[in-house]
Amino acid sequence: MSRKYSINSLLPWIIPFSLFLIFLIGHLIMLSSSRSLIYEYVKNQSMYSAREINIRFHLLLYERAKDLAHLASLWSRYSPQTASSLFLTDAAGIASRESTYYSIDYIDTIGRTLSHAPSDVPEITKNLDSKHYLSCLAYTKKPLLSNPLRFNNRYRIVLFYPVFKKSGIDSVFIGTVAATLRIREIIPSIISASTPSGFHLKLKIDTTTVYETDSIGTKYLNQSTAYLSVSDYGQQFTITVFPPQHGDLDNLLAQSWLRFLMNILASFLAAVLLSVTMNAIYKSRITGAELEKSEQRFRRLAENARDMIFRITLPEGKFEYVSPAASLLTGYSQEEFYSEPLFFRKYVDPQWHQIVMDHFSKAVKGDISPVIEYRIISKSGEIRWVSQRNVTVFDQNGNPIAFEGIVTDITDQKKAMADRERLIIELERKNADLERFTYTISHELKTPLITIKGFLGYIEEEAAKGDIFQMHQDILRIISATETMQRLLNDLIELSKVGTFSRIQEDINTVELVKKATERFSERIKTGNISLIISENMPDIKGYYRELLELFQNLIENSIKFMGNQPKPEIRIGSGVLNGETFFFISDNGIGIESRYRERIFGLFNKLSPISEGTGVGLTLVKRIIDLHGGWIRMESQGSGQGTTFFFRLPLSE
Shortest distance in whole angstroms from residue 500 CB to another protein: 26
Q: Under the criterion CB under 8 A, does residue 388 sit at the interface with another protein? A: no
Of 394, 354, 392, 361, the residue nearest 375 (C-alpha) = 354
How many angstroms separate the CA atoms of 532 and 515, rounded? 10
Shortest distance in whole angstroms from residue 607 CB to another protein: 5
SS3 for 134? helix
Of 159, 23, 153, 146, the residue nearest 95 (C-alpha) = 159
Q: Where are the alpha helices (DSSP H) in 498-616?
A: 510-519, 522-527, 545-561
Shortest distance in whole angstroms from residue 640 CB to another protein: 11
How many angstroms separate the CA atoms of 482 and 344, rounded? 74
Nearer to another protein, 158 or 471 (CB): 471
Question: What's the half-sphere exposure (Cβ side, CA atoms, 13 Å) at 39?
Answer: 12
Nearer to another protein, 491 or 550 (CB): 491
Site for another protein in 552-571 (CB under 8 A): none
Nearer to another protein, 417 or 476 (CB): 476
Residue 539 · residue 512 · CB < 8 Å: no
What track of x and - describes contact with another protein for positions 592 through 611 (by CB under 8 A)?
-----x-------xxxxxxx
Nearer to another protein, 449 or 468 (CB): 449
SS3 for 172? strand
Nearer to another protein, 411 or 447 (CB): 447
Shortest distance in whole angstroms from residue 457 CB to another protein: 3
Residues 448-463: b if buried by 16+ CB within 10 A, e if exposed: beebbeebeebbeebe
Nearer to another protein, 455 or 552 (CB): 455
Pick the stretch among 159-167, 234-242, 273-281, 432-440 that binds another protein (CB under 8 A).
Answer: 432-440
Pick the stretch among 32-40, 78-86, 252-260, 444-452 that binds another protein (CB under 8 A).
Answer: 444-452
How many angstroms separate the CA atoms of 230 and 264, rounded? 46
What track of x and - describes contact with another protein for positions 446 through 465 (by CB under 8 A)?
xx-xxx-xxxxxx-------
Q: Which residues pair with 582 in a beta bridge?
A: 577
Q: Under the criterion CB under 8 A, does residue 430 sit at the interface with another protein? A: no
How many angstroms separate the CA atoms of 4 and 610, rounded? 94
Shortest distance in whole angstroms from residue 450 CB to another protein: 5
Nearer to another protein, 505 or 606 (CB): 606
Shortest distance in whole angstroms from residue 626 CB to another protein: 23
Strands in 118-183 per DSSP E: 144-145, 149-151, 154-167, 170-182
Shortest distance in whole angstroms from residue 600 CB to another protein: 8
Q: What is the size of the binding site for another protein (CB under 8 A)? A: 29
Nearer to another protein, 584 or 602 (CB): 602
- Which of 477, 497, 516, 546 lies at the binding interface for another protein (CB under 8 A)? 477
- Phi-psi label, residue 499: left if phi above 0, alpha if psi -120 to 50, beta otherwise: left
Amino acid symbol at 521: F
How many angstroms separate the CA atoms of 338 and 582, rounded? 52
Shortest distance in whole angstroms from residue 613 CB to another protein: 12
Q: Under the criterion CB under 8 A, does residue 480 sit at the interface with another protein? A: yes
Q: Give the sign of the dihedral formed by CA 78, CA 84, CA 90, CA 94.
A: positive
- Which of 112, 132, 420, 436 lies at the binding interface for another protein (CB under 8 A)? 436
Is 381 exposed, middle or buried, given 0-12, 13-18 or 19+ CB atoms closer than 10 A?
Answer: exposed
Shortest distance in whole angstroms from residue 489 CB to another protein: 16
Of 109, 234, 125, the residue nearest 176 (C-alpha) = 109
- Which of 303, 435, 512, 519 lies at the binding interface for another protein (CB under 8 A)? 435
Nearer to another protein, 48 or 458 (CB): 458
Of 629, 638, 433, 423, the residue nearest 542 (C-alpha) = 629
Pick the stretch among 127-135, 251-259, 340-348, 474-482 that binds another protein (CB under 8 A).
Answer: 474-482
Site residues for another protein per CB under 8 A: 435-436, 439-440, 442-444, 446-447, 449-451, 453-458, 477, 480-481, 597, 605-611
